Amino acid sequence: MGSVQSFETPKSWRGWPGKIDTPLNKKLSEVKWGEYRLGDLFEIQNTLSFNADRLTFGSDYDYITRTSLNQGILQETGFVNKENINEAGTWSLGLLQMDFFYRRKPWYAGQFIRKIIPKFEVTESSVLFFTTLLNKQKPKLLSVLVRDVDKTFLNIVIRIPVLENGKIDFDFISSFIAELEAERIKELEAYLTVAGLKNYELTDEEHKALEDYNSLSFKNYSVPKLFEIKNTGNILSKDIVKNSGEYPYLCASADNNAVSTYISYDKKYMDKGNCIFIGGKTFVVTYQEKDFFSNDSHNLTLRLKDELKRCKDIQLYMATCINKSLGHRYSWGDSISNKKIKNDVISLPSLGEFIDYDSMPILISAIKKLIIRDVVLFANQKIEAVKEIVNK
């Protein structure tokens, strides 16, 4: 049961707007907070799972793995049989980085996935609210053994807005999320305008790059022949002060381009940017534009030997090729290393015996515009919806 108590606004929420004018005329500081165990609100269950090698392609359902990328969805999905399907309206929990993702349609699961089932009626605003709240529990879940995750999850105590009778104040949650969304959409609109990103029209060259992609010829190339390979520096998280400076502090997480925080530290431990970074234990591959610090010497930097090709878009393209070519080879128990990668090859577009570098930035530019187009159209749609609500 939840209990009604007076609490200070949770510290993790103090970055949210300080003044929220909701239809109920409440402010965040005036909300009554109650304590609930996650076990009061959710069940945690094993999933109906199977290995990816049993996929037959063509399904409308997602296949969920432990990855933090792409909402936990394996890119290639497929149908096996309906006996293995998990119901919609639940959260998946990947037992690697403890990421929670809400599932709006039935889904298949790989190994080491839990299913989080709500005991309350879910609305769109409560999905956003509780997804954020659940992911705030990641540090606690990462601190225990996998066998203890279920018990730990059920006994975590959270603070949420409640009514006088101790029940969850879903009306406030809905209003709060609506206000946050409206504010963030306004910020997005301003950013797109100032940054000049509203132009998402493809050039003829970009159109052609998209049309010709499936006809590109790919060949395998030796990693050490293309890149200078080095281990990164090693600065333990206990030795840093979060948000103390301007330089990225990288970890092996897929979140936020592997950036954990920004710090100031002794520059002799700094790694040069404009390179491809690989989180050694989790095989997260990113492009790092700026100089950075690293949390683990098992992490790797790959720097193109051909200096003329060290542009951002080419390296974004190659980072994806590295991930696709090598990601299936490495896991937490068999992680990549400086020694191992020197025996690896990656698949890249080619023109005869030579790498087709020229096609890379054009395709990346086209993809950026396609993504920005979706963002711009989404922002415009949301802005019109907010205006309609305000007018009413």
Query: What confidence score (pLDDT) does residue 332 get?
Result: 80
Cα distances (Å, whole numbers) of residue 389 to 160, 172, 219, 256, 328? 26, 17, 54, 32, 48
State what percent of residues in the chain have pLDDT above 90.
Answer: 59
pLDDT number for residue 68 = 79
Confidence (pLDDT) at 73:
79
Global pTM exceeds 0.75:
no
Residue 26 vs residues 31, 162, 166, 387: alpha-carbon distances, Å:
7, 13, 17, 21
Q: What is the pLDDT of residue 16?
A: 43
Residues of the chain with CATH 3.90.220.20: 3-187, 217-355
Q: At residue 90, what are phi and psi to the nearest 5 degrees?
A: -130, 170
DSSP 253-298: -SGGGGEEEEE---GGG-B-SSEEEEETTTTEEEEE-S-BEES-TT
Pick the CATH number of 217-355 from 3.40.50.1370, 3.90.220.20, 3.90.110.10, 3.40.50.300: 3.90.220.20
Please name the fold of domain 3-187.
Adenine-n6-DNA-methyltransferase TaqI; Chain A, domain 2 (3.90.220)
- Mean local confidence (pLDDT), 33-41: 95
Give yes or no for residue 364 having a pLDDT over 90: yes
Lowest model confidence (mean pLDDT) among 22-31, 204-213, 260-269: 22-31
Least confident of 89-98, 162-171, 183-192, 254-263: 183-192
Q: Which of 106, 126, 127 is nearest to 64 (CA)?
A: 106
Rounded mean pLDDT of 44-62?
A: 74
Per the model's pLDDT, the better-predicted residue between 111 and 170 turns out to be: 170
pLDDT > 90? residue 313: yes
CB atoms within 10 A of CB 251: 19
Q: Is the pLDDT of residue 61 over 90?
A: no
The reported pLDDT for the residue numbered 11 is 43
Pick 75 or 300 by higher pLDDT. 300
Which band of pLDDT confidence, cut at 50, 70 and 90, is reported for residue 76?
A: low
Angle at 36 (CA atoms; ends 30, 41), nearest 5 degrees:
120
